[in-house]
Homo-oligomer: A and B are copies of this chain.
Amino acid sequence: MTPTAAWTELQTRLAEINTISQIASNLSWDQQVMMPTGGGADRGKQLSMLSGMSHARWNEPGLAEALDALSGNEASDLQRAAVRNTKRQHKRSTAMPKELVQAMSEARSAAFPAWAAAKESQDYPGFVPHLEKLVALTREEVAVLQEPGQDPYDVLLEPYDPGSTSASLDPMFERLGTELSSFLQAIQGKPAPGERPKGPFAIAPQQALHESLVPALGYDMERGRLDESEHPFTIGMGYGDTRITTHYYENDLLPGLGGTIHETGHGLYEQGLPKELRGTGAGQAAGMGLHESQSRFWENFIGRSRQFSEWLAPQINAHMGTSLTGPGLYAASNGVKPSLIRIFADEVTYNLHIVIRYQLERQLFSGQIEVSHLDQAWADAYEQKLGVRPAHVGEGVLQDVHWPQAYYGYFPSYTLGNLYASSLVKALEKARPQMWAEVQKGEFAGILSWLRENVHQKAHLMDAPDIVNAACGGQQDHVADFVDHIWARHGALYGVSR
């Protein structure tokens, strides 16, 4: 096969796999947003059939042959990126013995209800056998995929954050933990800068507010939807169809707004991926960390800024009948308070939740800690880093679904997103000095346009670390950028400086 023929062959096959994936995404969206409960059993069969179809296509010899023929003979950056990305996924999709895939699938299915029960009954020892099984199977998977000399944890990182390694993350997360602990010490005992608006807040006007906010940020409603679901999420199903969901709370306005702006950020990234690269192997997002940088950029860096609060407060008032001021909303959006539950954490302490999880995962997969001791290690780490200690595992090691579903290597992307976003904001402020004045007027087109050009349009032509550094004009110190932001915003609100 000539390289040209191989490229054509590869494109045809990837386009087909991409279409199957779009179909599965639509069914999954429907399952979470629309499907009546009775549809569950058949939906399981439908998704399982699609998964089998995709698996079969990844395992067709023609795909491997096209990849081999092209590899080393690529004629462009696009081809190089597509080959690199596709090889990674091809290996994950074909190397695993069938028995191991089956065993992991069964272990996950068994663990899910056991986790829910153990979380409810605060019974860690009862869940340990499941977790040990999942970790053991994950180690087997790592052994299959591991390259000579590669750190096992890096094998886990790759599907979520290709291009990141534990060698780069270890020092970043260590330093970030120290810096954020210093900041927490500096504000200790200081009063919160503001109070959150008090409910109840009717759902219908909240919906109207959110529905006006999403397109105002630049989201194209002709190529997307906003709906409600139990857990907010974003799903991209091709250039013309990216859907976001949110969740409205009667007793609090801000979590719903934060969630909607967060998902809008994810959605803007998906909508901004270049049309012509879709399904080529290089047209998808460059990983979860970069994806999260886009959601956090809008949710935290823009959405919790003083200028955005000035713009948003009168709109909230118009819809909700409240009497918020810009400064009041700004202060209410930026309280910092160590707490036990990650998903409710503030912009600062959130990252300590992630540092703790990352460091425990590292110890777990380097054999420094046993599954059976994870609950104690967790509690100790929270006490040391956040000054709070869970009373039970339901608010401790069993709070998240990630470990009980063997998503090891996933957590770092949340904080990577914050770190990347902080560097992108710094670069944007240089490129577009008027940006904060624009935010205050509700003009987001210039900001979005910079993100489109420097991040979204790069798709997966490079790995995320390279995309962010290129966007910022060279190697950045993301931890320093993020910590600067925390001191500048939250330090000022709490009246402390470095």
Please list the residues of chain A having a beta carbon within 8 angstroms of any beta carbon in chain B: 16, 19-20, 22-23, 26-27, 30, 34-43, 45-46, 49-50, 53, 220-225, 237-241, 243
Contacts and interface: CB of A to CB of B under 8 A. Distances in A.
A223 B19 contact: no
SS of A interface (majority) = helix
B240 A40 contact: yes
B42 A240 contact: yes
A416 B53 CA distance: 41
B22 A223 contact: no
13 contacts: A34-B34, A34-B225, A36-B223, A36-B224, A36-B241, A37-B223, A38-B220, A38-B222, A38-B239, A38-B240, A39-B223, A39-B237, A42-B239
Nearest to A240: B38
Contacts of A53: 53
Contacts of A43: 241
Nearest to A224: B36
A27 B50 CA distance: 14
A237 to B, nearest CB: 7
Given A38-B223, A223-B38, A237-B39, A46 B27 contact: no
A49 B19 contact: yes
A497 B37 CA distance: 51
A46 B34 contact: no
Contacts of A42: 19, 22, 237-241
A222 B36 contact: yes
Contacts of A40: 240
For A16, A35, A36, A221, the residue with the greatest tally of chain B CB atoms inside 10 Å of its CB is A36
Given A22-B46, A26-B30, 15 more contacts: A16-B49, A23-B27, A23-B46, A23-B49, A34-B34, A34-B225, A36-B240, A36-B243, A38-B220, A38-B223, A38-B241, A42-B237, A42-B239, A43-B241, A53-B53
A42 B25 CA distance: 13
A207 to B, nearest CB: 13
A38 B26 CA distance: 14
A39 B237 CA distance: 8
Nearest to A27: B26
Contacts of A22: 42, 46
A182 to B, nearest CB: 47
For A39, A222, A237, the residue with the greatest tally of chain B CB atoms inside 10 Å of its CB is A39
Contacts of A237: 39, 42
A292 to B, nearest CB: 24
A215 to B, nearest CB: 12
A273 to B, nearest CB: 13
